[in-house]
Amino acid sequence: MSDGPAIDVRGLTKIFSGRTVVDNVDLKIPEGQICGFLGPNGSGKTTTLRLICGLLIPDGGEGEVLGLDLLRDRHRIKEQIGYMTQKFGLFGDLTIRENLEFIARVYGLDRRGERVDAALERLGLETRSDQLAGKLSGGWKQRLALAACVLHEPRILLLDEPTAGVDPQARREFWDQIHQLAREGMTVLVSTHYMDEAERCHEIAYIAYGVMLVRGTADEVVAQSGLHALSGEGKGADRLAAEIEGLPGVEMAVPFGTTLHVCGTDPDKLRAAVEPWKERFRWREAEPTLEDVFIHMMRNAHDNSVIERP
Partner 1 sequence: MYERIKAMIFKEMHQVSRDRGTLAMMFLMPVIQLLIFGYAINNDPRHLPLAVEANDNSAFTRTIVSALRNTTYFEVEEIVRSPGQGERLIEEGKVQFVVTIPPDFSRDLVRGQRPQLLVTADATDPSATGNAISAIGEAVNSGLRHDLIGPLGQGPPQSAPVDIVIHRNYNPEGITAYNIVPGVLAIILSMSMVLVTSLAVTREVEQGTMENLLATPLRPFEVMVGKIVPYFIIGIVQMFVALAAAALLFHVPFTGPILLMVLSTLIFIAVSLALGFTISTMADNQLQAMYVSVFYMIPSILLSGFAFPFRGMPLWAQWLAEILPMTHFLRLVRGIMLKGWNLSLALPEMGVLLLMLLVLTVVAVRRYQDTIA
> In terms of CB distance, is 19 or 235 closer to partner 1?
19
**SS3 state of residue 28:** strand
Amino acid at site 307: I
Do 151 and 100 meet the contact criterion of CB atoms below 8 Å apart? yes
Q: Among residues 26, 30, 55, 139, which is the contact residue for partner 1, using CB under 8 A?
A: 55
Q: Determine the interface stretch with partner 1 among 34-42, 51-59, 135-143, 161-169 (rule: CB under 8 A).
A: 51-59
Decide if residue 222 touches partner 1 (CB under 8 A): no
Q: Determine the interface stretch with partner 1 among 81-89, 109-117, 212-220, 293-301 (rule: CB under 8 A).
A: 81-89
Do 183 and 189 meet the contact criterion of CB atoms below 8 Å apart? no
Q: How far is the CB of 173 from partner 1 (least distance, A)?
A: 22
Decide if residue 147 touches partner 1 (CB under 8 A): no
Distances (CA, A) of 40 to 1, 37, 234, 296, 298: 35, 10, 33, 12, 7
- Beta strands, E only, the chain: 7-16, 19-29, 34-38, 60-65, 68-69, 81-84, 156-160, 187-191, 203-208, 211-216, 228-233, 252-256, 259-264, 282-286
Q: Among residues 33, 43, 48, 85, which is the contact residue for partner 1, using CB under 8 A?
A: 85
d(CA 228, CA 57): 41
> In terms of CB distance, is 79 or 266 closer to partner 1?
79
State the number of CA atoms in the 13 A half-sphere of 112 facing the CB: 13
Q: What character string, x for contact with partner 1 (CB under 8 A) and - otherwise, covers 172-211?
A: ----------------------------------------
Decide if residue 87 touches partner 1 (CB under 8 A): yes
DSSP for residue 121: H
Q: What character string, x for contact with partner 1 (CB under 8 A) and - otherwise, covers 9-28?
A: -------x------------
Q: Which residues bind partner 1 (CB under 8 A)?
A: 16, 50, 53-57, 75, 78-79, 81, 83, 85, 87-92, 103, 106-108
